[in-house]
Structure 1
């Protein structure tokens, strides 16, 4: 096994660790679970069933009773119906506050696993085992959990920090390339909001960034998680600073919702970053070179910078979806933006004219 990087989230005397490297997560997971655990619910994506089973087998060696539940693919897992089914499993199995949940899979799986763990008996331990790039660098870290409703993404959720996160970089070897590219959007986001070294690495060798065993990708993952750890530690429940992690997400979530969640999250976030860069330019915060840099970095790694809405869906539907964003206050739309100096900030209440102009700059004719 390779060297493991340990990134701590939270104050020194509390919080949890994110362990990053090529590692045997089935063997490592036992050390993250409280010794009092008697039952563990392992929720997982179908594609990683062998890994989930290995985890169950290791836990069985210490007489832990395990329950494996395969989830629907992608955002289809993040519904109240799926959550209710898992609550029923926990109830019928007699899970107590000393038992635990393990999430194995992509961002939707870790979101749901955290939500179910956070709401069962008002909170039981959860260990996250992200197997996609997006989940590794974002969804599994930080304790934000949630499910979707017909009105929007992640509108129902809670803050529930994991007991630990195990990031096995070798799992990226079997990740479809399209998913690896999509996950890179969250890495790019980190570069724009506070870790410029990420952008340097991507500009210098974008292809190495997409090689699962490359030191470049490993450094990108570690730097993005470390950035998120710093932000989350300073603002656990998104009272102020943590909002910068939503860069590109206001329009990105609107794209996902309008497309019925058939668009990859990372692709939507890439479009969201272009949208908000254009919006910041209209507001005089970001210069032409800054917008061009957004497009160049995203294009270099294969992410979209232009968008064709689905038939019958236009500006009005995207605006309505953005108005349901969690950063909105009353009727006031709020966006995380980056200025020409690379500093993140907030843009509150942009004009309807600017909102529409930014949309037109992203949408293909």
Structure 2
């Protein structure tokens, strides 16, 4: 079994458009959630979100590229370029054959869907752009990353609602560990902050109109975000042989299904995923110093996740630090686990634990250390990232500090 490390990271999110500035925002406890700037805002009941502000596609891509790239693909390519640049890899020759892409997104090109429906139904047009299908398909971002960088190995997209990125990164980890690839570009993206995407989520009645306050007794629901985070996962010996900087080691992954309800989370399903990820990583619960929680800010998720952590960690649950960075960047749906993995890397690399901001009132059903409102300095060696999605689809990653 080969060991797997991370040698590059990149991001676009509501807090910043690169990793260093995102780390700074995490450390400051800055909130990227604000008033939305979308069409037909007056028809929306929810008017806040973690939106990527001042995104200038024309400054980043050619006119021909924009014709092919939905907003979620634009975010992905920007983050992937940052990650691959940091890794220092060139995918020439055989390495391109041994390298692939696996990315997570829940819905793919939602902006393209929204624009096309508007053209046909609201504007009575009888034609849409000939590249609508290549723009909106969930696998578009993975394909464009593979084409841009010459990645000819296993390349595909994963769509498992809010666990999409964690599933994608877990599968990338397994591909390298099992010998199916030397390098995998992985992570996820989402861009659903358009009229149709927001209106769809409004229908679930799980959205807050004010703020995302995970684990706080007065929490009122989730807040959507958008963006991407992409990482270079690499086989350890390959990274060492070329003298690469190692950001962290990926040591465990597990996925489970609740098989019970399409929207309500299961404590037992989440607990099994956590337990199996620890077993895969070969670490005890008391070795984990920080957990980036799924922490959506909904009544059901937060108390269920806390109960699952307490069930698995036992006495160790009282000292492990837990936070939800969704309070800062919003819930990126299929891309959320990827952006949240940055908080895990920051904890391992810099010894800074990102806070849960917006925390106001202690909830007796969430009695854990949720690092309220202010970042914390703490040396940790092992961290965990949780993702528990609609449909009962759970994916948990475990990382270790680079030796």
Fold agreement, TM-score > 0.5: no
With normalisation by structure 1, the TM-score equals: 0.34
With normalisation by structure 2, the TM-score equals: 0.31
Question: Which protein, 1 or 2, shows the higher relative CO under an 8 Å CA cutoff with sep ≥ 6?
Answer: 2
More helix by share: 1
